[in-house]
Chain A
Amino acid sequence: MTRERLRRTLGRGALSLLAVVVAAVWAFPVYWMVNSSLMSNARLRSGTPSFWPVNPSLSNYQAVVSGSSFASALRMSIVITLVTVVAVLAFAFLAALAISRFRFRGRVSFVLTVLFVQMLPAEGLFIAQYKMLSGAQLLNSVLGISVLYTAAIVPFTIWMLRGFVAGVPIELEEAAMVDGLSRTQAFLRITFPLLAPGLVASGVYAFLQAWNEFTIALVVLPAESAKTLPLWLRSFLSASANRGVDWGEVMAASALIAVPVIIFFLFVQGRMTSGLVSGAVKG
């Protein structure tokens, strides 16, 4: 009996050790990004890597932020993301209300279509989207890419919000109406506050999608002045490569993009996993 228990304790210990090693391997690239961003280029090129920052400084970050193109890329990313998030939330919220609070003809077909189009890859559409925007003189414009982003993000957001709206029992609204509120008042005072977490989660999801997007931006924002942050990071690396890459600065640039995203991501991830596979988990 005791030998059996000893064996099990040892087995659990070995598995815990394995889990920690795997965690270290998986987190290593993120750690390496931050670690390298804090060291000088001379240190990074010295041949033997340092596994913790030696003479750490923020000078790489200063160099990146004061570079000419960073401010314009940051502005572009912020404006496009804001427009997209607002449009996605408004449109998806109305559509989610329609499909979860009403029964109407075409409802199931609409949901089917929405779920289906969200699977269509940008890689199979970007040529036509490029031609469409260039025909409308909207290449390099905030409006053009925001429309494409909204169309790409709205389907999954509708699906996400539908779950939240359906989670607020209609009886609550009806009780308020019995107490003398109008339909709109009941909705605004009772249902809407209960939907706030859903709207926040969907908003963060839309933010992440628009902020990180690379492929569509590469195609429809060819001008240097219209670059978003992901495109800017790519040019930053290419420009640095011409002079023998300054990896310290490149890692500082990567970290500047990644850190806000990682923080936002931690808010929303639970929702995203359950949204994607919830149908299956319930079986």
Chain B
Amino acid sequence: MASTEVAAPEAATTTTAPRRRTRRPRVPYLLLLPAVAVLLIGLGYPVYWQVANSFREFGLAQQFGQPAPWVGLDNYVRIFTSDALWAVVARSLVFCLVNALLTVILGVLLALLMKAVPTWARLTLQVAMLLAWAMPMVAAVTVWKWLFDWRTGVVNWLLEAGGLPEFHEHHWLAEPLSFFAVATIVIVWMSVPFVALSVYAGLTQVPDEVREAARIDGANSWQQFWHITVPLIRPVLAIVLLLQIIWDLRVFAQIRLLQDGGAPVGETNLLGNFIFELGVGRQDFAGAAAVSIFVLALTALLAWPYVRVLVKELDS
């Protein structure tokens, strides 16, 4: 059998690989079976359904049992020629990039701060970060809504006490721009801890001797940072930035929850909200499927480099 032929040289070179493993090639497949089955049902079928129905007419009539006729690229043309979609795409991309960059910059700064201060101060900062990171998303958004409450929220009170009377009973969530400012604060607050702690872990792997040597050679702290530290933590930085972009592209729940206060839905929807409204709200399942495929493709494109880096680690 082919598998034994492949395995034989491996067993010869690596003495630890026991021969009885390779005699029973069925075992690993049986072990994978349950995971593969649940992935096929939970993710595989929905992806297939979405691809298939993005080429069909699937609206209210089909909900009531009408057959779904094949319409080719009509759904894509209909959705992607509408200004509504492009407004949402542009908004999502800007929101995603602003949030991802802010998160990574703040995270790196806080990681450097953790490295620079004595242990007690670092632990204080790390505990605070963990608290924010651990907050369940729905609870976190709810608390931020209370902080930004127009009537008795502490943010308006502080701003007013700080000499800005125009913030008396200010409605943060009523205007798209200040709505997104609040959403950004919430998301950056939730996301920075992961970046800060990951980058800090990366920084602790930079040997002190290297920077010491650079200092003796006359490099100032900025040069030490830019020429020694940054290149050494570049792999971590690349990964957290990529993950952050992927995660901020899929922001849905936070926006949905913030909209509950009576925000202008049409002007504050991001891609996920747009799909939700199109599908669950207006029962245009084919259109929603077409936009979903677009989101999946965009994510796939971004996720590929991350996955390749991780796979390299498989047998190391």
Contact = CB atoms under 8 A, between A and B. Distances in A.
B42 A159 contact: no
A128 B136 contact: no
Interface in B42-93: 42-43, 45-47, 49-50, 53
Interface string B4-28: 0011001000001110111001011
A192 interface: no
Interface stretch (B173-181, B211-219, B244-252): B244-252
Interface in B91-118: 110, 113-114, 116-118
B314 A108 contact: yes
Given A23-B125, A126-B276, A266-B134, A257 B139 contact: yes
Q: Indicate the size class of the contact surface on chain A.
A: 35 or more
Contacts, number: 335
A229 B197 CA distance: 29
Interface string A100-131: 01111101101110111101111111111111
A7 interface: no
B152 A125 contact: no
Interface string A245-256: 101001101110
Given A129-B46, A234-B260, A276-B243, A110 B32 contact: yes
Contact of A281 (B194, B236, B279, B303): B236
Interface in A62-115: 87, 90-92, 94-95, 97-99, 101-105, 107-108, 110-112, 114-115
B226 interface: no
Contacts of B192: 26
Given A23-B125, A233-B138, A245-B149, A277 B201 contact: yes
A247 B239 contact: no
B271 interface: yes
Nearest to A48: B157
Interface residues of B, number: 117
A142 interface: no
B220 interface: no
Contacts of A257: 136, 138-139
A158 to B, nearest CB: 7
B152 to A, nearest CB: 5
Q: What's the dominant secondary structure at chain A's contact region?
A: helix
Given A22-B125, A123-B252, A147-B42, A98 B32 contact: yes
Given A20-B124, A230-B138, A103 B201 contact: no
B296 interface: yes
Contacts of A87: 38
A13 to B, nearest CB: 9
Contacts of B257: 214, 234
A157 B126 CA distance: 25
A215 interface: yes
A116 to B, nearest CB: 5
Contacts of A230: 136-138
Contacts of B288: 127
Given A26-B128, A29-B140, A48-B157, A250 B146 contact: yes
18 contacts: A15-B116, A22-B110, A23-B128, A29-B140, A33-B143, A116-B307, A127-B50, A127-B276, A128-B46, A128-B50, A211-B136, A214-B253, A250-B142, A262-B135, A265-B130, A266-B130, A277-B202, A279-B239
Given A127-B275, A230-B138, A273-B198, 8 more contacts: A29-B135, A91-B35, A94-B33, A151-B42, A174-B18, A214-B257, A233-B142, A278-B313
